[in-house]
Structure 1
Amino acid sequence: MISAFANTWKVAELRERIIYMLVMIVIVRLGVHITLPGIDASVVDQYMKEQAAKGGSDNGMLDTMATIFSGGGLQQLGLFALGIMPYISASILMQLMSAVMPKLAKLSREDGGRQKINQYTRFITIIIALVQGGLLANQLSTNPGSLPFFNGIEAVGAVVPNPGFSFIAIFTLTVVTGTLLLMWIGDQMTENGIGNGTSMIITVNIISALPASLALLWKSLISGGTPAGAAFVVFLFAFLIFVIAATISITQAQRRIAIQYAKRVVGRKQYGGQTQYLPLKLNYANVMPIIFATAILGIPTVIISQLFPTASWGLTLSSILAGNSPWFYVIAGVMIFFFSYFWVATMFQPSEIAENLKRSGGYIPGVRPGEPTAKFLDFTMTRLTFAGAVFLTIIFALPFVVSQMPLLFGENPLDQAITQFFGGTSLLIMVGVILDIMRQVETQLLQRNYDGFLRQGKLKGAVDRRNKQLAARSSNNMIYLLLVVAVFFLLGVVALILEN
């Protein structure tokens, strides 16, 4: 495996793709820290420092979801405050509409249909970003303290020194532009980098919270000098390795249905007769049920905080759905089961698969073609979905369980900023993206007869000569990108010197 990582730099194309991806990641992280126009950056910075001194906020799942999709841009009111969430929402909406609307389903199967659906997705993204950006601007102008991420910020100062229509218009236009820029960067990373660009941006946003989480863990359990706390940190790292290994295993688990094709004789050649396999993933819905459940449960909390901030029943309901309450995980677990079956019922079409098998002369041994095959596939996927829903529920509840473990030896519960890496949406997204990148890199290595991560290839001298020739060809675009990063780095150093 170590040699596989070393070989990635020997392949000119892979090396350029990796460098391009790293440059785009730097640009994404820079955009998070560029304050939006009309915002007093000193007030936001002071508020963030006070929250960090307290040991984090108590928003629970809301902070986790904001970190995943905006990378801290929402809490810092940066250029990428909305993050990639409007595009994710539009993509999910188009997927669901394609599954239930015959015209869109037919369009997705036509030549050039996917390009048309991508255009519709981008139009919907702009609409969602305009609505979210306008609401955020209005709330910052009138009552910023009602936002979950800025509770009590009025005591620090005015977030918007000059509120008004001009601020709302400029703020909304800028934040929508930031979302579109982030969407374009994701497309460029997909085309010129490695893996899916949008998923990579989300993964980078998640990993960006890791240093602060480690510092908070050190402050919570080790800096106090408690031997039990230090031993618990060792246990947490061992448990994290176990959880990651289990998540990888279950994510890749699948039920392989044997498909037998009938023999056909055309002229002097015989076709068919071989056995292939139809893979059915254990976790077919992936992370979507968790995203649906947390998004829906977060809506009542936001509405209550804005419309009924002082009502007793509203405070009680908000505490139940706060993301750090046991009832929240009970309700979310039920919703995860529902959305797991809903997603599979919407996206998995056993009748269509059975019809395609029948047309191509394929059949499942022991099962009649046509309707019996569709029923068999539906029954099999139903059982797999139940196991996948149980897995998603356990993964979703793990951060809360880990946060309560310090109570066993008299310590305070851990902040969710620390435990988010032990499960939930963060872990599933990171595992999926890293596995996808490793598969693509391994494919590139094996195509060039290099050793892969798990499989072995043959290293040939001709391959070395070809890669040396490719490496000799200078890439002007890569040089320009590195110059841009160098300029941004120098500007950051100058700003840091002036600030001090």
Structure 2
Amino acid sequence: MFETIRNAFKTADIRKKLLYTLLIIIIFRIGCAIPVPFLDPSQLASTINAQGSFLGYLNVLTGGGLEHATLFAMSITPYINASIIIQLLTVAIPALERLQKEGEEGRKVLNKITRYLTVALGAIQAIGYYFLLKRSGAVEFTKGFEGIYAAIIIVVTFTAGTALIVWLGERITEKGIGNGISIILFAGIISRGPAAFQTLKGLWDLGGQGAWQNYIYVPLIIVIFIAMIVFIIVMTNAERRIPVQYAKRVVGRKMYGGQSSHIPVKVSMSGVMPIIFATSILSIPSMIAGFVNVQSGFWFHFFKVFNYDSWGYAILYFVLIIAFNFFYIAIQYNPVEIANNLRKNNGAIPGIRPGKPTSDFISKVIWKIAMVGAMFLGVIAVFPIIFQIFTGAAISLGGTSIIIIVGVALETMRTLESQLMMRHHKGFLE
């Protein structure tokens, strides 16, 4: 990895892309320090701690921007939600499906629609945040003309921050090293590293005040953190290769085909999307609980099930991740289309007849691998919750954050290696 980065900085155009990406990240971090008017950060921080998993999860994605009531407090969550909605609609709406198949021009139109939807969802989410923060006492002015003016400023600032952060991500994609939204997400999460170390230090210090078990928990957390990173790297790179043999054919005096290839089926086909889906669904009861503020009765116990540190939340989280993993793969992969493309190109899987037997075989392999990938995501996402239930020691960077960090780092390294390979490839005349 370090060799790749060093070689990248030796190449002039890649060095410019890296420095441009670094500049955008600095701008993003500056935006995470610009406060939004009329909000009390101290009250907002206590609200995040009281509301549980969803606001805490958003706070990690924003690099602490939500906790400090800054310009980028909503980060790119509206964009992620908009992208998910558009992906789902491309299956249900034929017009969007045609755009998806039109190549580069179709993708540009879909990206434009996604940006408009991002702003709309950002405005809705900003309004919801305003009412939640108003109820918790984090808004300084709530009555009269001052209250209306403060509400407009807060909602517009949150929405504008989301639009700006999406624009910054697109600049990284166009002029930087690519994959801009993921880089922004990576920068926000990795900036919480010092806070995580501070939490570990606090646990260690408590060991000298009577909580002797923390002397065991802190080294255990570090070992688990390293083990999770290794496990995620192995599972992210793991794939099942379906062998394909192409038939020989004669065109004029030349013979084509006859080579062997394979169809790669990655274990982690859906990435972190199922976790984002599941977190969004499970966040709804927590948000409702923040609005209604129930203190007793049936609804109090009902909302308590969705607390981050409860067994009910862990079980529902695990089940939803598996369900959404299969759902996401079902809309992304079409075994019938893969089998038809193989037949059109005179390809076949050894031992499997073309047509329906091939599609059935591919479908069977995909669903087996999907189950392994779903269990992998579920275990990584739920393990920090179970660890906290048993020990009471919270892991600041959860499984979702680690998956995003490792995934973006691996993808960035692959991008740099491919660009270096293109620039050092010898042509026919060299």
For normalisation by structure 1, the TM-score amounts to: 0.79
Match of 2:72 in 1: 80
Are the equivalent residues in 2 in contact too, given 1:82–1:175 (CA < 8 A)?
yes
Name the CA distance, whole Å, in 1 between partners of 2:394 and 2:157. Answer: 33
Are the equivalent residues in 1 in contact too, given 2:141–2:147 (CA < 8 A)?
no
Q: Does 1:113 align with 2:88?
A: no
Are the equivalent residues in 2 in contact too, given 1:195–1:433 (CA < 8 A)?
no
Are the equivalent residues in 1 in contact too, given 2:31–2:72 (CA < 8 A)?
yes
Q: Does 1:415 align with 2:394?
A: yes
Q: Does 1:402 align with 2:394?
A: no
Summarize the alignment of residues 6-21 of structure 1 with structure 2, pairs less than 5 Å apart.
6-21=6-21
Name the CA distance, whole Å, in 1 between partners of 2:293 and 2:51. Answer: 18
Name the CA distance, whole Å, in 1 between partners of 2:133 and 2:312. Answer: 31
Are the equivalent residues in 2 in contact too, given 1:99–1:347 (CA < 8 A)?
no
Are the equivalent residues in 2 in contact too, given 1:84–1:179 (CA < 8 A)?
yes
- Call closer, same or farther: CA 1:59–1:166 in 2, change over 3 Å: closer
In the TM superposition, what is the alpha-carbon distance from 1:255 to its structure 2 partner?
0.7
Q: Pick from 106, 121, 133 the counterpart of residue 126 of structure 2.
A: 133
Are the equivalent residues in 2 in contact too, given 1:44–1:159 (CA < 8 A)?
no
Match of 1:468 in 2: none
Identity %: 36
Match of 1:484 in 2: none
The letter for the 2-side match of 1:37 is P
Task: Give the root-mean-square deviation of aligned CA atoms.
Answer: 2.4
**Structure 1, residues 411-434: CA drift from partner, whole Å, max 9, x if none?**
xx1134x2x34x2x1111111100
Match of 1:381 in 2: 366
Q: Pick from 417, 441, 444 the counterpart of residue 416 of structure 2.
A: 441
Are the equivalent residues in 2 in contact too, given 1:68–1:203 (CA < 8 A)?
no
- Call closer, same or farther: CA 1:240–1:120 in 2, change over 3 Å: same
In the TM superposition, what is the alpha-carbon distance from 1:380 to its structure 2 partner?
0.8
Q: Residue 73 of structure 1 aligns to a residue in which SS?
A: coil
Q: Pick from 254, 258, 263 the counterpart of residue 278 of structure 1.
A: 263
Q: Residue 309 of structure 1 aligns to a residue in which SS?
A: coil
In the TM superposition, what is the alpha-carbon distance from 1:73 to its structure 2 partner?
2.1
The letter for the 2-side match of 1:426 is S
In the TM superposition, what is the alpha-carbon distance from 1:138 to its structure 2 partner?
3.6
In the TM superposition, what is the alpha-carbon distance from 1:403 to its structure 2 partner?
2.6
In the TM superposition, what is the alpha-carbon distance from 1:215 to its structure 2 partner?
0.8
The letter for the 2-side match of 1:395 is I
In the TM superposition, what is the alpha-carbon distance from 1:137 to its structure 2 partner?
2.6
The aligned length equals 422
**Structure 1, residues 294-323: CA drift from partner, whole Å, max 9, x if none?**
111110121133135334222212221011
In the TM superposition, what is the alpha-carbon distance from 1:227 to its structure 2 partner?
6.5
Q: Does 1:367 align with 2:367?
A: no
Are the equivalent residues in 2 in contact too, given 1:290–1:336 (CA < 8 A)?
yes
The letter for the 2-side match of 1:114 is R
**Structure 1, residues 310-366: CA drift from partner, whole Å, max 9, x if none?**
342222122210111111111111111211111111111111111111111111111
In the TM superposition, what is the alpha-carbon distance from 1:205 to its structure 2 partner?
1.2
Match of 2:173 in 1: 190
**Structure 1, residues 177-227: CA drift from partner, whole Å, max 9, x if none?**
111110000000111222311011111111121111211210112454377
The letter for the 2-side match of 1:235 is L
Summarize the alignment of residues 257-406 of structure 1 with structure 2, pairs less than 5 Å apart.
257-307=242-292, 309-404=294-389
Name the CA distance, whole Å, in 1 between partners of 2:282 and 2:109. Answer: 33
In the TM superposition, what is the alpha-carbon distance from 1:402 to its structure 2 partner?
3.1
- Call closer, same or farther: CA 1:12–1:223 in 2, change over 3 Å: farther
Match of 2:182 in 1: 199
Name the CA distance, whole Å, in 1 between partners of 2:214 and 2:128. Answer: 43
The letter for the 2-side match of 1:436 is E
Name the CA distance, whole Å, in 1 between partners of 2:375 and 2:368. Answer: 11
Match of 2:155 in 1: 172
> Which one has the largest radius of gyration?
1
In the TM superposition, what is the alpha-carbon distance from 1:439 to its structure 2 partner?
0.5
For normalisation by structure 2, the TM-score amounts to: 0.91
In the TM superposition, what is the alpha-carbon distance from 1:46 to its structure 2 partner?
6.9
- Call closer, same or farther: CA 1:297–1:398 in 2, change over 3 Å: same
Name the CA distance, whole Å, in 1 between partners of 2:343 and 2:25. Answer: 47
In the TM superposition, what is the alpha-carbon distance from 1:78 to its structure 2 partner?
1.1
In the TM superposition, what is the alpha-carbon distance from 1:85 to its structure 2 partner?
0.8
Q: Residue 405 of structure 2 aligns to a residue in which SS?
A: helix
Name the CA distance, whole Å, in 1 between partners of 2:206 and 2:309. Answer: 25
Q: Does 1:101 align with 2:76?
A: no
Name the CA distance, whole Å, in 2 between partners of 1:182 and 1:284. Answer: 27
**Structure 1, residues 42-90: CA drift from partner, whole Å, max 9, x if none?**
x324764xx59xxx93544224421243222222221112211111111
**Structure 1, residues 380-429: CA drift from partner, whole Å, max 9, x if none?**
11111111111111101121233346x4xxxxx1134x2x34x2x11111
Summarize the alignment of residues 450-465 of structure 1 with structure 2, pairs less than 5 Å apart.
none
Match of 2:35 in 1: 35
In the TM superposition, what is the alpha-carbon distance from 1:282 to its structure 2 partner?
1.1
The letter for the 2-side match of 1:256 is R
